[in-house]
Amino acid sequence: GVKIFLDQVFRDNFFHADMHPGNIFVSKENIAQPSYIAIDCAIVGSLSREDQYNLARMLQATLKQDYYKLSELFIGAGWVSSQTNKAELEQTLRATCEPIFEKPLSEIEFGNLLLYLFDSTRQFGLSVQPSLILLQKTLIHIEGMGREIYADLDFWGLAEPYLDQWIDKQFSPLKLKEFLESNHYEILDKASSLPGEIFDLLDNIKFLANDGKKNVDLIKNLEANLQNQRKWQNLTILTLIGIIMILTGTLLT
């Protein structure tokens, strides 16, 4: 059941969002391989590709108790204010999670842990998509129902290897090829304008250095531009890696 739910969220990106016991059945036609049956699909959810990836990384960091990485992901995903002090956020996440992790993993309710994480980060201006809140509530239903059926359910033991494998797959050569094929026009367009934008940034920096006054609006614009440049710089690097891999594969065949 847990594997089916994870597949819905990360493989299919279309999950049943009202999975209480009255909507979930098991077919006994084939006792050796019982089938999952879901009814009343009036409430469903899906995530953007970006939220899907960020959620997987955040769950992975939570499972590994890597609070520094978790704070980076919250800020980088825009779930909390960009002005958030990373050290303060890390400390808040640590204070929230560490008492919970003192319990055996089999006793920790994963859905409730996410609820605590969301509640504790509201002070930093938490803003998440409604679909993520829907997912978190669905997870509480699934885990509670699973523990009623099987008290020793280890959600963590099932989720961690699944997430590790899913994240690794996002950087596979096949995924990179799909990305290049679907975004090559945008990549070429951005790459062609990148040098000019970099020179514009340098000119603005020189202006600030020569001018004694602090132009707050200009500094904010520069910060926004730099963040955008960092995004497309990473995109360009991925593109170059993809081209190299394609050329290498061509040469080897």
Tokens of 201: 């940034």
| DSSP run (H or E) holding 111 | helix 110-120
Going by C-alpha positions, the residue among 139, 177, 56, 155 that lies closest to residue 105 is 155
Exposure string (b/e) for 144-173, b if CB count within 10 Å is 16 or more?
Answer: ebbeeeeeebbbeebbbebbeebeeeeeee
Helices (H), 150-214: 155-169, 173-210
Catalytic residue from among 12, 18, 40, 66: 18
In Å, how far are 11, 26, 111, 172 from 36, measured between CA atoms?
A: 17, 5, 21, 30
Going by C-alpha positions, the residue among 10, 106, 13 that lies closest to residue 58 is 10
Radius of gyration (C-alpha) of the chain in whole angstroms: 23
Active site residue 18: yes
Alpha carbons within 13 A on the beta-carbon side of 213: 4
Q: Which residues are catalytic?
A: 18
